[in-house]
Chain A
């Protein structure tokens, strides 16, 4: 039997590892990924564990690697994954790695600091260059064109010598300030100096790079003229306050020209040095980028191994570590091999010992899954992980889930769209996985690609049977209905009703729904009757299948009590009442036909006399006998009344059977055990025990067993049985009705599809003229978007949810316990994946 039907048999093993070999052995077990270690030091603080120093060192290494990775990403250098298996390094290699990372980090920090200093210098020189250029403009403007072009132009000209006969010496400061601050700066200067200073400013066209933040900012050059020392101090203070940088600017043009040349040379030198620094940094990062992924993997593996080693118990006297782990029984050989490999690698002489322990604890649930079954198992696990070794619903879900979805979704066109999308995902699996997308919604769709693929295929099939392609029907075999009336008869009436007596051939449309129904105005009436019946049939069969799986569980766990006391009454109850309902449905389909009305003798089998299956069923359960209406027989076959009464009586008898049989048998069993126990102790005790039991013996009601503690007190058994019975009996009725959602959703889907066609697409198709083509193109776009958004996505999600509910509740409450916990082995692969996902977030 494939292991997907039941979870694997697990064994609790004790592992004795020599301290030197422990690291290598754990590394090998991590690569294998088949052992779940238990924490043998649960009350020890994380900081007091044995290998806490090593874990700290690993954390430090990871921090350095993260810094390196950030720098690499900043420069946009691609990091490559070689894809080879990187093994966890030996403990002595860890020191080498630490040294390498330390060196790299220091080098990188140094380079970054140097670059920053150089950039600051560069900025200052650039600003100085701009100042020299702009102030030249200011001085040029002040020069009077009428005067002689004298090199030495006095700034003020005549006016400076006029007032008071003394030459007024104007001082000035030149500097650079952020462009945004200029208006406020001007205002402040005006107010503080009472309008006695003169500001000229000019914008610098290129943005300059701020050395600390790396942003590009726009700055302006300004020059302030003032008279006297007081104003000078004031102006300097205001410049400081506005974070403007002041530069010494020579007065004479000659000096300025010399300075400009000097500045240009220095800028060029600085540029060279800066580019060389950047090159060096780039080289260092490229060299690191080659190995960084491998380093990350190594460090993470080391950390995982030490975390696991921290779970072990140290036996100080014997210098060995003790571990406890859950291991699948079928893989014990593989574990032995891995341990042997580890011991050889570490060069230890003492082989590790693996002991299988007997335990009463419940082992974890382990299923071997492949990429196909993993999706379906996730669906089931989301409700509850299977209890240890109980029947797994997944292999059945692989088909029943897409099938029930398709019954609700049935449309050939929409199914085809879904199928194509899933097919694309499946065909391009490998490149899509390698992309490691972080979009959660995409990851959900991609993880369920096989589910969507099957849902699409089945939807295409049910769409074919419902004969629904984007709300139109296919006419593959020719309709079996025909119009016989003459043209005048048709003209006279607004609608023509085709009578099945006369308008139907002797054959039935072979594949699915006859195409005539799509153009009929009472299509919903016919389809409703059909779909409701189909839903009930499918539902009852699904539930009976669930009860059968329960029987399989009882047989596997050798619970004969359950077979007699639970399974048999359950199946009788369901079959006698609900499967009988399905048989009635089939009987009505076969035996009642409109054509029988042609023969007056067969009036009881005609359409006029066909009894309602629902009313028949309700009357059956209420023990009401139906009377003859007109000429029609209320019953479908001879002896129906008596037979139905018999079925209901037996069905109702099953309820006390379910309720009382098992508690009574358990009570009898415990009595026997009690007797045996008392017999061992001696005769007199038996008399007392006998008297006590006689006193307590008659009532089947709650009797707590005195003295010894059983697994469950008798009270609990009775209560559990009561709950179980009520759940089953009421559940049968409500769950059967719940399956009617298959009808409801398929109706909603078909109607939405029809509305979309008749309200949107038909308008486009009805356009005429050459511009009609353009209108049709636009309307098709709208129709396609609405089809995808509403019918495929929204209805698809809705049907998915309802199918999930049908499985989780209606199917699984017939047999599933779902109280287990998952097997989470110590596995490097899953740990690395989790770390990568966490890092991206």
Chain B
């Protein structure tokens, strides 16, 4: 799972930016506290949700059952997967 950490990095950086960096940039005003909490919660919840979906698919224990028509179309449109290097 080497290079598959790229998405992990990207999304952690994005939601980390929203939840950790942006709160420092909120302008002073009566709503500063509320906006900071909003940003932090948004970052945390959205990152957690994405992470759960990603981790659930990292090591799937079952595979999809495809009907034969769909399988043929899949092979035609999406190819038959990475070919072994010769």
Contact = CB atoms under 8 A, between A and B. Distances in A.
Contacts of B56: 529-530, 533-534, 589
Nearest to A499: B63
A594 interface: yes
Contact of A517 (B31, B64, B71, B72): B64
28 contacts: A2-B32, A2-B34, A3-B30, A395-B33, A403-B41, A403-B49, A483-B66, A483-B80, A485-B71, A490-B68, A490-B75, A496-B71, A499-B63, A500-B62, A505-B81, A510-B10, A516-B64, A519-B74, A520-B64, A521-B64, A526-B64, A529-B56, A533-B56, A537-B52, A589-B58, A591-B59, A594-B60, A607-B61
Given A495-B67, A516-B64, A506 B1 contact: yes
Contact of B65 (A465, A512, A521): A521
B75 to A, nearest CB: 5
A500 B66 contact: no
Interface in A528-550: 529-530, 533-534, 537-538, 541
A498 B57 contact: no
B78 A478 contact: yes
A368 to B, nearest CB: 8
A507 interface: yes
Interface in B1-45: 1, 3-4, 6-7, 10-11, 30-34, 37-38, 41-42, 45
Given A396-B37, A482-B80, A610-B61, A508 B49 contact: no
Contacts of B81: 482-484, 503, 505
Contacts of B74: 482-483, 516, 519
Given A398-B34, A508-B57, A538-B48, 18 more contacts: A370-B31, A373-B34, A395-B33, A395-B37, A480-B57, A482-B80, A483-B66, A499-B63, A503-B81, A508-B4, A508-B54, A511-B7, A511-B50, A514-B57, A516-B66, A533-B56, A538-B49, A607-B61
B61 A590 contact: no
Contacts of B34: 2, 4-5, 373, 395, 398
Please provide the 3 A-B residue pairs with the shortest distance between their CB atoms, ordered closest to farther: A593-B59, A520-B64, A482-B81
Contact of B53 (A465, A478, A490, A586): A465
A525 B62 contact: yes
Contacts of B45: 399-400, 403
A592 B67 contact: no
Interface residues of B, number: 48
A657 interface: no
Nearest to A2: B33
A7 interface: no
Nearest to A368: B30
A508 B7 contact: yes
A480 B34 CA distance: 41
B68 A495 contact: yes
A481 interface: yes
A480 B64 CA distance: 12
A122 interface: no
Interface string A712-755: 00000000000000000000000000000000000000000000
Contacts of A495: 65-68
B54 to A, nearest CB: 6
A461 interface: yes
Contacts of A519: 64, 66, 70, 74
Nearest to B42: A399
A590 B52 CA distance: 11
Contact of B52 (A504, A523, A533): A533
A398 B57 CA distance: 30
Contacts of A4: 33-34
Interface string A541-583: 1000000000000000000000000000000000000000000
Given A465-B50, A496-B71, A533-B52, A507 B66 contact: no
A436 B78 CA distance: 56
A487 B3 CA distance: 32
Nearest to B43: A399
Nearest to A462: B49
A483 B75 contact: yes
A533 B54 CA distance: 13
Interface of A: 1-5, 368, 370, 373, 395-396, 398-400, 403, 407, 461-462, 465-466, 478-485, 487, 490-491, 493-500, 503-514, 516-517, 519-523, 525-526, 529-530, 533-534, 537-538, 541, 586, 589-595, 607, 610
Contacts of B6: 510
A507 B33 CA distance: 40
A128 to B, nearest CB: 77
Given A498-B63, A594-B61, A610-B61, A482 B79 contact: yes
Contact of A521 (B33, B59, B67, B80): B67
B59 A594 contact: yes
Contacts of A483: 66, 71, 74-75, 80-81
Contacts of B42: 399
Nearest to B60: A500
A498 B64 contact: yes
Contacts of A505: 81-82
Which of B3, B6, B71, B72 counts the most A-chain CB atoms under 10 A from its CB? B71
B64 A523 contact: yes
A495 to B, nearest CB: 5
A248 to B, nearest CB: 84
Contacts of B65: 495-498, 520-522
A709 to B, nearest CB: 41
B58 to A, nearest CB: 5
Nearest to A407: B49
Contacts of B37: 395-396, 398-399
A490 B59 contact: no
Given A2-B30, A398-B34, A537-B52, A509 B62 contact: no
Contacts of A521: 64-67
A533 B53 CA distance: 10
A403 B45 CA distance: 7
Which of A485, A490, A497 counts the most B-chain CB atoms under 10 A from its CB? A490
Nearest to A494: B68
Nearest to A4: B34
A670 to B, nearest CB: 39
A621 B62 CA distance: 28
B72 to A, nearest CB: 6
Contact of B64 (A481, A494, A534, A590): A481
Contacts of B80: 482-484
Contacts of B61: 500, 592-594, 607, 610
B55 interface: yes
Contacts of B67: 494-496, 521
A483 B75 CA distance: 6
A511 B57 CA distance: 11
Given A4-B33, A395-B37, A538-B48, A508 B66 contact: no
B32 to A, nearest CB: 7
A1 B34 CA distance: 9
Contacts of A497: 63-66
B79 to A, nearest CB: 6
A835 B75 CA distance: 70
Contacts of A523: 64
Nearest to A403: B45
A500 B63 contact: yes
A482 B78 contact: yes
A537 B37 CA distance: 21
Nearest to A530: B56
B37 to A, nearest CB: 5
A538 B34 CA distance: 22
A762 to B, nearest CB: 15
Contacts of A466: 53
Which of A519, A525, A593 counts the most B-chain CB atoms under 10 A from its CB? A519
Contacts of A500: 59-63
A506 B63 CA distance: 14
B60 A526 contact: yes
Contacts of A595: 59
